[in-house]
């Protein structure tokens, strides 16, 4: 007998859960790094255009497809895709990406998230307060990651302890289900996150001019660096690709998470205004809070020239070296440094629990496994999958996982969703579906945008990548000789994971056909 599926406790609960999934480390680390590395205001124009033409349409598509598939008892992409295109027996295998992507991202994201929990502890205990320069903070980070020896760390002991704690927190939340776990977490974590961010924002806006000999290095010019538009950026293909990639990453579209979250909605629940609200909350957090905290602060202390160099050093350098170095120059350094890393931890955990849900929902919906057992199976499997990212970080394993799970397949999956929504379901039918129970009318221009502009945009991104990057990446030309065996092993592992998931999809549908159930 098919059991009843879980549901959200309230409308605000689903909005906060989707917003929590989107609001992650990328809002406070990746976006500032991308914006600063691409000239600040030069990045925002392509970014906002990408949000309107790519991010927002995909957000509405995923909310709608998820609610549609949930009506057939499917909470993941294989079942949802099959519900839309029943005549195509292969479409459910394309849906495997919607389970595969979150698992791959979770395999490295949880470890990175655990750094923020560890650093929150080290901030409170005062261990970070005495580190005033870049060399000391970089040494602390590399020692914590197990990339170097010496200093306060001797191996990965502390890092593994905080990883285990972070992993356990994630599994504890998803164990308690949609309403009792994920929704409850987001309802207290997001307000706390916003509170931490607002305190840090006010402190940054009150920064003076640390170096009197450089009066131009002030907070107003720091804000201008981010907000002053540069229309010449529209001619840069690289900036467009970076901006579109950031929109994908920040909204959690193209992963499969929102499909699963929306599948727990009822048929008459609004998706138009709710999707817009969740997307807008994420964008406000990313641009207003994420961008306005770290970039202006870095501008005040390092000036307009060094800020790009710092950003190009990577998101870890910006978040774990530059920001604590700035905060350690201020009064109440321990308090503000703790707020920074605790803020990152809250952002990370609301995202990582969402990455766990598609695979768990797949086991529940397609194999009729109860929640507790499904979480147990998922926890055991993903704990093993997390180990390469921990022990082979220095060998480029995380870079491989991030590219395939968190970049390439996002675009592929988004393209499949648009085609199914606009061309298989049909734009008129899809438009009616989006507006069932809607509390707002989406501007009609989006019928044209979703059917033509969004897929064209995605084809352009994919085509540019194929022309510029395909051969070097496949041949691992940018990978050192030392790291090539690790990159190859990671790719073999990813193929194996995808193959296992595809096999599980095949088994699930064979069971349904045998039992005579509707698939």
Residue 404 phi, psi dihedral angles, 5° rounding: -75, -45
Q: Is residue 518 situated within a structural domain?
A: no
Domain count, the chain: 1
* Residue given tokens 């205004």 in the structure block: 273
CATH number for the domain spanning 376: value is: 1.20.1740
Quick check: is 471 in a domain?
Answer: yes
What pLDDT sits at residue 438?
Answer: 94
CA distance 390 to 106: 12
Write down the pLDDT at residue 218: 87
Burial of 158 (0-12, 13-18, 19+ CB in 10 A): middle
Domain membership of residue 205 as a residue range: 11-513
- DSSP lists the bridge partners of residue 153 as 150
- Helix 219-227 vs helix 41-50: crossing angle, to nearest 10: 40
In a domain, 69, yes or no: yes
Residue 4 lies in a domain: no
The DSSP secondary structure of 422-476, one letter per residue, reads IIITTHHHHHHHHTTT-SSPPPTHHHHIIIIIHHHHHHHHHHHHHHHTHHHHHTT
Q: Which helix or strand (DSSP H or E) is residue 404 part of?
A: none
Domain assignment of residue 133, yes or no: yes
DSSP state of 319: I
In-domain check, residue 2: no
Q: Among candidates 74, 82, 168, which has minimal Cα distance to 358?
A: 74
6 belongs to a structural domain: no
Residue 352 and residue 106 in contact, taking contact as beta carbons nearer than 8 Å:
yes
**385 phi, psi to nearest 5 deg:** -65, -25
What is residue 150's predicted lDDT score, i.e. its pLDDT?
A: 63
Confidence (pLDDT) at 226: 77
Please report, in tens digits, the pLDDT of each residue of the chain (519 residues total).
Answer: 456 788 899 999 999 999 999 999 889 988 888 887 776 677 888 888 899 999 999 999 999 999 999 999 999 999 999 999 988 889 999 999 999 999 999 999 999 999 999 999 999 999 998 888 888 998 999 999 988 876 688 889 999 999 999 999 999 999 999 999 999 999 999 999 999 999 999 999 988 777 778 888 888 888 887 777 667 766 767 777 778 878 887 888 889 999 999 999 998 999 999 999 999 999 999 988 888 888 888 888 888 777 777 777 777 888 899 899 999 988 999 999 999 999 999 999 999 999 999 999 999 999 999 999 999 999 999 999 999 999 999 999 999 998 898 888 888 999 999 999 999 999 999 999 999 999 999 999 999 999 999 999 888 888 877 777 778 888 888 899 999 999 999 999 999 999 999 999 999 999 877 776 444
User: Per the domain annotation, does 1 fall within a domain?
Assistant: no
Kindly list the distances between the CA atom of residue 261 and the CA atoms of 69, 86, 253, 319, in Å, as whole numbers in the listed order.
11, 22, 12, 29
- Residue 406 CB contacts under 8 Å (≥ 6 apart), including other chains: 101, 104, 105, 249
């Amino acid at each position: 007998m098919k059991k009843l599926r879980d549901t959200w406790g309230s409308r605000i609960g689903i909005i906060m859960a989707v917003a929590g999934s989107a609001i992650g480390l990328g809002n406070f680390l990746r976006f500032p790094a991308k914006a600063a590395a691409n000239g600040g205001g030069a990045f925002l124009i392509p970014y906002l255009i990408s949000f309107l033409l790519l991010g927002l349409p995909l957000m509405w598509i995923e909310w709608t497809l998820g609610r549609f598939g949930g009506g057939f008892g499917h909470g993941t992409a294989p079942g949802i895709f099959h519900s839309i295109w029943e005549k195509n027996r292969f479409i459910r295998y394309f849906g495997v990406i919607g389970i595969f992507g979150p698992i791959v991202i979770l395999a490295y994201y949880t470890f990175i998230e655990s750094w923020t929990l560890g650093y929150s502890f080290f901030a409170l205990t005062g261990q970070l307060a005495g580190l005033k320069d870049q060399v000391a903070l970089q040494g602390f980070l590399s020692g914590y990651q197990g990339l170097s020896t010496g200093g306060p760390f001797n191996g990965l002991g502390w890092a593994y302890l905080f990883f285990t704690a972070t992993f356990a927190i994630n599994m504890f939340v998803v164990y308690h289900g949609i309403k009792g776990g994920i929704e409850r977490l987001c309802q207290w974590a997001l307000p706390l996150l916003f509170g931490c961010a607002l305190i840090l924002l006010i402190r940054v806006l009150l920064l003076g001019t640390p170096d009197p000999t450089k009066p131009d290095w002030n907070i107003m010019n720091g804000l201008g660096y981010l907000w002053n538009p540069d229309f010449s950026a529209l001619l840069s293909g690289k900036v467009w690709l970076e901006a579109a990639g950031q929109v994908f990453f920040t909204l959690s579209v193209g992963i499969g998470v929102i499909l699963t979250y929306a599948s727990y909605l009822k048929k008459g629940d609004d998706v138009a205004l709710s999707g817009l609200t969740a997307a807008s909350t994420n964008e406000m957090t990313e641009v207003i809070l994420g961008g306005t905290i770290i970039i202006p602060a870095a501008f005040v202390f390092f000036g307009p020239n060094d800020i790009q160099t710092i950003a190009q050093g990577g998101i870890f350098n910006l978040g774990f070296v530059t920001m604590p170095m700035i905060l350690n120059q201020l009064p109440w350094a321990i308090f503000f440094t703790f707020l920074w890393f605790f803020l990152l931890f809250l952002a990370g955990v609301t995202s990582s629990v969402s990455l766990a849900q598609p695979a768990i929902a797949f086991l529940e919906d397609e194999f009729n496994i109860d929640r507790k057992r499904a979480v147990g199976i998922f926890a055991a499997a993903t704990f093993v999958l997390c180990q390469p990212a921990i022990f082979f970080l220095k060998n480029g394993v995380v870079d491989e996982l991030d590219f395939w799970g968190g970049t390439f397949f996002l675009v592929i999956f988004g393209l499949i969703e648009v085609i199914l929504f606009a061309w298989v379901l049909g734009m008129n039918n899809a438009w009616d579906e989006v507006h069932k129970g809607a509390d707002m009318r989406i501007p009609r221009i989006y019928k044209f945008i979703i059917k033509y502009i969004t897929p064209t945009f995605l084809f352009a991104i994919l085509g540019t990548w194929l022309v510029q990057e395909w051969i070097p990446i496949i041949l691992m030309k940018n990978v050192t000789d030392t790291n090539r065996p690790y990159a190859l092993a990671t790719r073999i592992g990813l193929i194996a994971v995808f193959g296992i998931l595809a096999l599980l999809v095949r088994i699930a549908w064979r069971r349904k056909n045998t039992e005579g159930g509707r698939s």
